Amino acid sequence: MEVKNICCIGAGYVGGPTMAVIALKCPHINVTVVDANPDKIKAWNGPLDELPVYEPGLAEVVKEARGRNLFFSDDISGSIEKAEMIFMAVNTPTKTEGEGAGMAADLRYIEACAKDIAKFSKSDKIVIEKSTLPVRTAEKIKEILEENSTDIHFEILSNPEFLAEGTAIQDLFKSDRVLIGGDETESGQKAVQALVDIYANWIPKEKILTTNVWSSELAKLASNAMLAQRISSINSLSALCEKTGANIDELSKAIGMDHRIGPHFLKASVGFGGSCFQKDILNLVYL
Ligand SMILES: NC(=O)c1ccc[n+]([C@@H]2O[C@H](COP(=O)([O-])OP(=O)(O)OC[C@H]3O[C@@H](n4cnc5c(N)ncnc54)[C@H](O)[C@@H]3O)[C@@H](O)[C@H]2O)c1
C-alpha cells in the first residue's frame, strides 16, 4: 500500500525529531505532527534556535523539511482524517492514582488519542504505537477504536522508539535496529510492509526487524531494563571497589573487554536518570 500522508499525534521529544527525520528521508510523503498543546506547535513553527526540543542536528533537519513535506499543526481532526498512517507519540508517565499507582503506566493520553482517531477517521488507517507501552496495549487500543467507530478497519502496529536524548538525530539516522510488530494476518502483514517501506528509505533492510505486536511492545521495556540493570550493577560494584581497594575504571575495562559483555553502559556514576528508565522499569515490574 502506498502511504502519502502520515499524521503523528504528540509533538514532544519523540514525535518531533522522529517525524522530522521521516519527512527528511521521505520527501514523497507529507508528514503532519499535531499536539493538544498549541504553544508547542507554535514553537515548532517558530525560529530554528527556539524549537521545543534541543538535539544536535535537529534544527538542520527541520530547516530542510519544514514547509516542504513536514508540517506542525493544531488541526488534529483534519490531519487524522487525511492520513493513511497515524503514529501515537504521546506521553506515558507513571500512574499517580488508582490501581497500579506509582508503578503502572498511565495510559490516559493514549486512550484519548485512540478516541480521537476513531472519531475523526473516515477511511481505513494504520495506527502505530510509537509511545512506550505495556505489553498487550494494542488490544486495548483496538477495543477503543472499534467501540467508537463503524465500518473502518484499523490495523495496529507497534514501533517503539529507541532514541536517547542528546543523540536523537544520530540515533534516528543510524538506528541499531528498527522494530516493527504487527498481526500475523494478511492485513497485518500488509501494514507492516507499508511501515518497513518507509524506514527502508534510509535504514538497511537487515536492521529492520519485524515481530508480532506483543514481542515488539515488550522488547522496548525489556531493553530499557537491561540497560538500567548494567548501570545499577556497575554502581554496586563501585561501592565494593571503595571498600576493597579495587579500581572501578580498571574493573569496567576488564569486564567490558569480554565480548559476551561488551564495554557500553559500564561507567560508574550517579544512579540512572533521564525521562524513561525509572518509569519503564516500574512498569515492567508491575507487569
Ligand atoms: N524522551 C525520550 O527520550 C523517549 C525515548 C524513547 C521513547 N519514549 C517514549 O515516547 C513517548 C513520548 O515521550 P516524549 O518524551 O516525546 O513525551 P513528551 O511529553 O515530550 O511529548 C508528548 C506530547 O504529547 C502531547 N499529547 C498528550 N496527549 C495528547 C493528545 N491526546 N492529543 C494530542 N497531543 C497529546 C503532549 O502535549 C506532548 O507535547 C513516551 O511513551 C516515552 O516513554 C521517550
- Mind listing the pLDDT tens digit for each residue in 189-245? 999 999 999 999 999 999 999 999 999 999 999 999 999 999 999 999 999 999 999
DSSP at 258: S
Instruction: Give me the pLDDT at residue 273, please.
Output: 85
Q: Is 20 exposed, middle or buried (0-12, 13-18, 19+ CB in 10 A)?
A: buried
Determine the longest span between alpha carbons in the chain, in angstroms: 69
> DSSP assignment, residue 105?
B
CB 70 less than 6 A from any atom of ligand 1: no
The whole-angstrom separation of Cα 199 and Cα 195 is 7
Place of cell 557500553: 264
Task: Give the residues of the chain that fall short of pLDDT 70.
Answer: none
Query: Is 276 among the catalytic positions?
Result: yes
Please say whether the beta carbons of 114 and 145 come within 8 A.
yes
pLDDT at 274: 85
CA dist., res. 191 & res. 128, Å (int): 10
Q: Note the pLDDT tens digit of each residue in 114-139.
A: 999 999 999 999 999 999 999 999 99
Q: Which atom of ligand 1 is nearest to the CA of 13?
A: 16
Residue 83: phi and psi, rounded to 5, are -80, 145
Name the residue of 14, 21, 227 whose CB sits within 8 Å of the most ligand 1 atoms, as the mutation to test its pocket.
Answer: 14
- Measured in angstroms, how far is the CA atom of residue 10 from the centroid of ligand 1? 6
Q: Are 17 and 168 in contact (CB under 8 A)?
A: yes
Mutate to test the pocket of ligand 1, among 9, 13, 80 (most ligand atoms within 8 A of CB): 13
